Amino acid sequence: MSERVIVGLSGGVDSAVAALLLKDAGHDVQGLFMSNWEEDDDGYCTAAQDYQDARAVAAELGIALHRASFARQYREQVFGEFLREHRAGRTPNPDVLCNREIKFGVALEWAQRLGASHFATGHYARLEPSPEGGALYKARDDAKDQSYFLHAVSRAQLSRTLMPLGELEKSAVRERARRSGLPVFDKPDSTGICFIGERPFRAFLTRFLPVTPGPIESPSGERLGTHQGLAFHTLGQRGGLGIGGQHGRPHLPWYVAAKDVGRNALIVVQGHDHPLLSSEALATGAWHWLASPRRQPFRCGVKVRYRQADEPALLEPRTDGTVRVRFERPQRAVTPGQYAVAYEGERCLGGAVIESIEPRVRESAAA
C-alpha cells in the first residue's frame, strides 16, 4: 500500500510540482492549503487567489485538497515574536519561525492526524537520513537554496518531511509544470513576509507598533535628524532617513550603523564601506544543532543572511549552549535578531539568533 503524503499546496508552482512528483512516484498524495493571515482587507494579501490556484492544481492532479487556518498559532507563535523583537530594536526573520512553528509544526501534526506518513513542501533543500534524524543539505540550485530558512526545524520534524525539489533547478521545475499542464507554471514567485505577503513594510508595522521619535546621530553624537522609531530601521539600511544634504558633510549616502535602544537613538554613518558597518565577530543565543553538537571550536562556513555566500569562520561553542562566531574577514551589516547559520560543505549544521556583534572598530575611533 502506498504511503499517504500531505503536500502543503500554496498556490504556487513549486508546491504544485512537489505534489506532481510525489504522485508520479506512487504516493497517496493529498493537498493542504494554509490561510493563516486573516487581515486581508488592505489589498496586499493574496490568500483568496492563492487558494483558487491551489484548487486548480489539485483538480488537475486529481487529488483531494484540504484547507486549514492556523491563524491563532501564527499570531501567537510567529507574529507575536516578530513584534516583540521589533519593539526591542532588533530585526527578526519571521520566515524561520514560520517554518519551525507552523509549516513543520502544527501543519505537520495536522497531516499526521490525517494518517500521513510525511508532510511535503516545495522548499528548495535536500533531506537525507542520518543516525541523529533528518539531515539538511543545500539545494542543487544555489540561487534558490532555502536551507537558511529551515535551520531551526528539528531533526525529528525533518525526518517526517519530504522536499522533492531539492535536486532540481528552478527552470526545470517550471518546465515540468508547463509540460504537465499545471495552471500555475508561469505564476511569479511570491516574496515578502511568510503568510502576510508583499506590502509597504513601514506602513504595515505602524499598524501594530507605536511611533516613538528619537534622534538620528553621528557616531560622535552630533544630531542630524529625527527618526520615528528604531523598529522601522535595520542595520545597513540606506535611504528613508531624511537627512540628506547635511551642511559641511561630503555628498555620500547615509547608512544605519547601530541602534542605541537605551537612548532611542539611531546611529548613522556615511559611505557604504564605513568601518562601523563591519563586524569581526558575533554572539548567538542558544544554538540549534542539526548535527551532533560540537564542543570544541571548529572552522566552517557561516551565513548571516539569505543568499549570502558561506563566509569562512571559527565557530566557538560555549558551555551555556550559545556560540561565538569569529569571521576570517569582517562582515558588513551583521544584524541582531537575524540568524547565523553554519555549513560544513553542503550540510547545514544548524544556527541561532544573533544576539550581539563585535564591531571592527569602536564608535569613538570611527567618529
Query: Each residue of 296-341: pLDDT tens digit?
Result: 999 999 999 998 999 999 999 999 999 999 999 999 999 999 999 9
On average, the pLDDT of the chain sits at 91
What per-residue confidence (pLDDT) applies to 252? Answer: 85
Distance between CA atoms of 250 and 266, rounded to whole angstroms?
20
What per-residue confidence (pLDDT) applies to 268? Answer: 95
Confidence of residue 107 (pLDDT cuts 50, 70, 90): very high
**Position 156 pLDDT exceeds 70:** yes
Report residue 250 CA to chain centroid gap: 36
| Pairing between β-strand 254-260 and β-strand 278-284 as defined by DSSP bridges | unpaired
User: Can you point out the beta strands (E) in 176-305?
Assistant: 214-217, 223-227, 254-260, 265-270, 278-284, 288-289, 298-303
State the burial class of residue 243 (Cβ atoms within 10 Å of its Cβ: 0-12, 13-18, 19+): middle
For the stretch 30-56, pLDDT in tens is 999 998 877 655 555 677 889 999 999
Active site residues: 98, 194
Output the nine-digit C-alpha cell for 115: 494518517
Query: What is the chain's alpha carbon radius of gyration, rounded to the nearest angstrom?
Result: 22
For the stretch 173-206, pLDDT in tens is 999 999 999 999 998 887 656 656 665 677 778 8
State the burial class of residue 336 (Cβ atoms within 10 Å of its Cβ: 0-12, 13-18, 19+): buried
Complete domains list, the chain, with CATH: 4-179 (3.40.50.620), 216-272 (2.30.30.280), 278-362 (2.40.30.10)
Distance between CA atoms of 350 and 302, rounded to whole angstroms?
10
State the burial class of residue 332 (Cβ atoms within 10 Å of its Cβ: 0-12, 13-18, 19+): middle
Residue where the block lists cell 564542543: 295
Is there a contact between 326 and 280 (Cβ–Cβ < 8 Å)? yes
Confidence of residue 213 (pLDDT cuts 50, 70, 90): very high
H helix or E strand, kind and range, residue 161: strand 161-162
Is there a contact between 116 and 109 (Cβ–Cβ < 8 Å)? no
pTM for this model (two decimals)? 0.91
**Position 81 pLDDT exceeds 60:** yes
